[in-house]
Structure 1
Amino acid sequence: MAPAAADQLQVMASGFTKLMVSQLATRLVTFSMNLLVARQLSPEAYGLSAVQFHLITTTILFLSREGFRRGGLRIQEQTGKEGSTTVAERVLRVSWPILPIGLVLSTAVCAFVLWRSAAQGGDAQYQQAVVAHGVAAVLELCSEPLYIISSTRLEFGRRAGIDTAAMITKCGVTLLLVLNGSLHPALVFAASQLAFSCVVLGGYLAYGAQLWSQGQLKVHSWRLDSEDRQTLAITGLFSIQAAEKLLLAEGSKLALVALESGYNQGVYGLVANLGSLVVRLLFTPVEEAAFTAFSRAGLGAAAEPSARGPLAQVLTVAVKAVGLLGLLALSFGPFYSYTLLRVVYSQRWSETEAPFVLGCYTAYLLLLAVNGITEAFVHAVLDPSALKAANALLVVFTAAHVLCSVVLVKAGGAAGLVLADTLNMSLRIAFSLWYIRCYFSKVPGFSTRQLLPSSQVLLACGLVSGCLAASNSHFMASQQLVLHGFWRQAALHVGVGVCCLAALLMRILKAERGTLAQVAGLRRKQE
């Protein structure tokens, strides 16, 4: 492997491993908390946190900071004579607008939600919780400049520690208050979100104090130079793109809130939290680490198209790795969704439409995994003019997604929502693949077909899915459950799954030995 490719893959593997460890700890705690909370709350109450409050927080945070996060990663250590100190200074100069922007957005979003709640006769506890979520978002945004500095310095371990502490605190507060039962559910979720934001802010303030004591946070001048203005310009483009991506990612949930009952919101919220456990544990860390690696490698390769070979190698390994994980979810998820929900959340949830929706969501995970890497690559290497063109295309995708969401949510409820998201993700992947093919057109021997797993793996996944479909139809049929009991039939069905998983993993190890060897080699270097 070329040295440049190895260096960038090592950056990605290092960041992914540290973030994955954090995600593993936090998501296992989150899963346990969601399990206990879901058993205590009605679907309507559960939908408050999983859908409505999630939309409030995500809208404020994503619009305020996403563009600055992506633009800030393009600040290089070579931009000044003082090394990393200059990087921190530049980050502070260009990222401070996050705070006033976040304050304005928080006020606007909360005011709109409160106005809508008042028009629908919402209760006072819900309105208080909305305000608390707005305050929590602003508190979290106060840490953002220091977060960006940490990211530019590739300090993934620090971020992992802060995220873990914050999520565990949030889970603990939620569980204690729910079990106590003295607070309205909306206020319980508000208190836990405030606790989360306070821990995040406290963690990054401690990091800032450390940098200050080392003399690395001194800003000698707040006047913007040409490089700062260039960073702000591309940050603006990323921010526009963030707004479009927000509608793409959350537009279907907005349609769900506007058109569906609180019960259906709760069902979708349960499925999304369960299904996204894999996303947050594996896909999000590798996407963020990959974007950092692509940003650093892409700047050097942009001027010399003939030097893009190592970058193509990085992309191929990353897409194949997440694609294999997504294929596992697609092969097993639809046939074990009912069993999982009945075991974990009880028959109360398994007899709703949640198993069918969860099965659809596991199929959607494959597209989500691939899009996370391909889109991270495209955003990392686009120049300003290409970013403008990409933003214009995202407007078209956004309009199509919102329209599909309204139509499909009306027709299919929560399952229609997942279908709308699937169509949206397919469009985004198609654009990314087109750009990737153009970007690497001068790299000898490169083809987008290289991003796919081998035909042997695809065939094996198809055979496993057929076997599991037959097992699910036979062992988990209603008459079989009545005749023999759930636990006996579930054990037999799971036994078939274990055998299929072992066979599939053996086939993957044999067919994708080269890809797995590269990942394993990077892990050994990192250790």
Structure 2
Amino acid sequence: MGNQEVLGQAARLASSGLLLQVLFRIITFVLNAFILRFLSKETVGIVNVRLTLLYSTTIFLAREAFRRACLSGSAQRDWSQTLNLLWLTVPLGIFWSLLLGWVWLQLLEVPDPNVVPYYGTGVVLFGLSAVVELLGEPFWVLAQAHMFVKLKVLAESMSVILRSVLTAFLVLWVPHWGLYIFSLAQLFYTAVLVLSYVIYMVKLLRSPESTKQLTLPVSKITQLLPSVSRSRAFINWKEAKLTWSFFKQSFLKQILTEGERYVMTFLNVLNFGDQGVYDVVNNLGSLVARLIFQPIEESFYIFFAKVLEREKSATLQKQEDVAMAATVLESLLKLALLTGLTITVFGFAYSQLALDLYGGAMLSSGSGPVLMRSYCLYVLLLAINGVTECFTFAAMSKDEVDRYNFTMLALSSSFLVLSYLLTSWCGSVGFILANCFNMGIRITQSLYFIHRYFQESPHTPLAGLRLSPALLGVFALSGGITSVSEAFLCCERGWPARLAHIAVGAICLGVTLGTAFITETKLIHFLRTQLGRSRLSDKMT
């Protein structure tokens, strides 16, 4: 597969993923807003913080390093060894599930069973759901490596929707089941997710024409299972060593990613009700990050990993590949900056209205609006960090990955300390401030790596972080106008005033996007080009 084709596939993967996720997320958004009106803050806190943390920690520690290692490098590999390596995630997941389950049951504060019943069952079933999901890991990596565009998005989105539908049904009909509801829904979600990949692969491999056209490394479903051969090692030890390097990094990254939940869970700085409000705001604030930034990061990580060779500097690689990578990186940085700034500027004036529409007074009163406004700034940093680390992790050598682990260790330690101090000082907003500080440090590290990587080449991809003065002025003006509009029109003055406030924001947003279209011509050309390649790829498939 040529690099232009790889770029087209990555663009197709990102754009298709974005459109499909927007559709499915809207459905899930409505279902979750409905469910929130029937739950207590304490139940939301236990499910979304305590139990979800158990599940996500088990999943992350068991598979993240394997995913990064097995998606890196050349396509010319012994896939049987790679698949054998991926199956090791299952026993590793069982180990983490048992260990963390014991911690959650024996060492952490147990909620009042009269307020949140069936906590022990919830811990067991959430741990089991993590192990079930790991059974689909070889299928997921094979699909990603061969860029099956819609499979991942459809499988994950449909699983999430079905989980939300089941949760809503159980909340309405058997609300006394407590955590049984969410535990069964979570187990159902992982089962549907894994079965989606398995069924797709079975049907694909039964079609000889599709298998030949896609040049898959396996011809029957049994070849995806672990296999032992006397002629070769069970696993590729180079991939195993890279996995270990990424594992050390992923352990630290998990602390940074879920750090506030660890502080809430192990240090009890917030009660279960406050944890619930914070988590709902956090999920709502990160919705755009999951919709837009995550598909772009995952898709273009594969692109950079395929185009660039890890152990070579930019000057020792094919210059057309380096030029293409630099152009793509510059455009992605510009896109991330524009998207993040738009969310920050307009999110400040519309946070309270959004929370009131989503969860009612439980979210729009108290600390909710302040949390949401703070999170809008954090989204800007998330956007930039997603792109910079996407390139950095794809281009780093194994030794550089190991050295980066020490930086992550320092960041993890400082984040936990800073989260505890800031939360003690200013409540749940302290978590977001600590996240902003650490995200800024991570961005700085990645920018330094990118600068060094391209310093001996004529390319300057970091120019993507510069905006025209006219566009910056329009952003500032829009921020001022919408803030005044919020003060006079929102949010206790009824729906006519709210609609007027929304209209003001829509006009300002239109002017901002129009200015961006006029001033950022290079980015517009890149987006048009990639959309054209995506459509062409769709026609070919």
TM-score (norm 2): 0.90
Q: Are residues 1:522 and 2:515 paired?
A: no
The structure with the greater share of residues assigned to helix is: 1
Quote the sequence identity (%): 26
Name the aligned partner's letter for residue 527 of structure 2.
V
Encode CA deviations 1:261-300: one digit per residue, 9 max, x unaligned: 1121111111012112111111111110011111111228
Structure 1: which 5+ runs fail to align?
A: 80-85
Q: Please tell me whether the aligned partners of residues 75 and 152 of structure 1 are also in contact (alpha carbons under 8 angstroms).
A: no
Q: The residue matched to 1:78 in structure 2 has which SS?
A: coil
Q: Are residues 1:237 and 2:264 paired?
A: no
Q: Please tell me whether the aligned partners of residues 334 and 356 of structure 1 are also in contact (alpha carbons under 8 angstroms).
A: no
For residues 419-498 of structure 1, the aligned pairs below 5 Å read 419-446=433-460, 448-476=462-490, 481=492, 485-498=493-506
For residues 188-227 of structure 1, the aligned pairs below 5 Å read 188-210=181-203, 213=206, 215-216=219-220, 218=223, 219=227, 221=229, 225=233
Q: 1:127 to 1:197 in 2, by over 3 A?
A: same
Worse overlay, 502-511 or 219-228? 219-228
Q: Please tell me whether the aligned partners of residues 329 and 461 of structure 2 are also in contact (alpha carbons under 8 angstroms).
A: no
Worse overlay, 122-131 or 314-323? 122-131
Give the CA deviation at 1:229.
0.9
Q: Please tell me whether the aligned partners of residues 146 and 208 of structure 1 are also in contact (alpha carbons under 8 angstroms).
A: yes
Name the aligned partner's letter for residue 336 of structure 1.
Y
Q: 1:164 aligns to what?
A: 157
Give the CA deviation at 1:454.
3.1
Q: 2:167 aligns to what?
A: 174
Q: 1:223 to 1:352 in 2, by over 3 A?
A: farther
Give the CA deviation at 1:513.
1.9
Which of 318, 328, 337 is equivalent to 2:342? Answer: 328
Q: Please tell me whether the aligned partners of residues 60 and 254 of structure 2 are also in contact (alpha carbons under 8 angstroms).
A: yes
Encode CA deviations 1:448-497: one digit per residue, 9 max, x unaligned: 233333333222212211221222223338xxx4xxx3223212221211
Worse overlay, 205-214 or 435-444? 205-214
Q: 1:176 to 1:429 in 2, by over 3 A?
A: same
Give the CA deviation at 1:301.
9.0
**CA distance in structure 2 between the aligned counterparts of 1:108 and 1:305, rounded to whole angstroms:** 47
TM-score (norm 1): 0.92
Q: 1:222 to 1:100 in 2, by over 3 A?
A: farther
Name the aligned partner's letter for residue 59 of structure 1.
T
Encode CA deviations 1:202-251: one digit per residue, 9 max, x unaligned: 11222343466462553573875599111111111111111100001111
Q: Please tell me whether the aligned partners of residues 408 and 417 of structure 1 are also in contact (alpha carbons under 8 angstroms).
A: yes
Which of 8, 19, 22 is equivalent to 1:21? Answer: 19
Q: Are residues 1:345 and 2:338 paired?
A: no
Q: 1:464 to 1:415 in 2, by over 3 A?
A: same
Q: 2:214 aligns to what?
A: none
The number of aligned residues is 512
Q: Please tell me whether the aligned partners of residues 475 and 490 of structure 1 are also in contact (alpha carbons under 8 angstroms).
A: yes
Q: 1:74 aligns to what?
A: 72
**CA distance in structure 2 between the aligned counterparts of 1:153 and 1:442, rounded to whole angstroms:** 33
Encode CA deviations 1:358-404: one digit per residue, 9 max, x unaligned: 11111110100110111111111111111110011110111111111
Name the aligned partner's letter for residue 324 of structure 2.
P
Give the CA deviation at 1:95.
1.1
Which of 273, 281, 289 is equivalent to 1:279? Answer: 289
Q: Please tell me whether the aligned partners of residues 241 and 394 of structure 1 are also in contact (alpha carbons under 8 angstroms).
A: yes
**CA distance in structure 2 between the aligned counterparts of 1:240 and 1:183, rounded to whole angstroms:** 42
Q: Please tell me whether the aligned partners of residues 50 and 273 of structure 1 are also in contact (alpha carbons under 8 angstroms).
A: no
**CA distance in structure 2 between the aligned counterparts of 1:222 and 1:195, rounded to whole angstroms:** 39
**CA distance in structure 2 between the aligned counterparts of 1:9 and 1:271, rounded to whole angstroms:** 35
Encode CA deviations 1:297-356: one digit per residue, 9 max, x unaligned: 122893552622221111111111122111110110011111122233223431221111
**CA distance in structure 2 between the aligned counterparts of 1:357 and 1:326, rounded to whole angstroms:** 17
Q: 1:510 aligns to what?
A: 518
Q: 1:355 aligns to what?
A: 369
Q: The residue matched to 2:72 in structure 1 has which SS?
A: coil
Name the aligned partner's letter for residue 262 of structure 2.
L
Q: 2:399 aligns to what?
A: 385
Give the CA deviation at 1:197.
0.6
Q: 1:119 to 1:335 in 2, by over 3 A?
A: closer
Q: The residue matched to 2:475 in structure 1 has which SS?
A: helix
Give the CA deviation at 1:445.
4.5
Structure 2: which 5+ runs fail to align?
A: 209-218, 536-541
Worse overlay, 99-108 or 150-159? 150-159
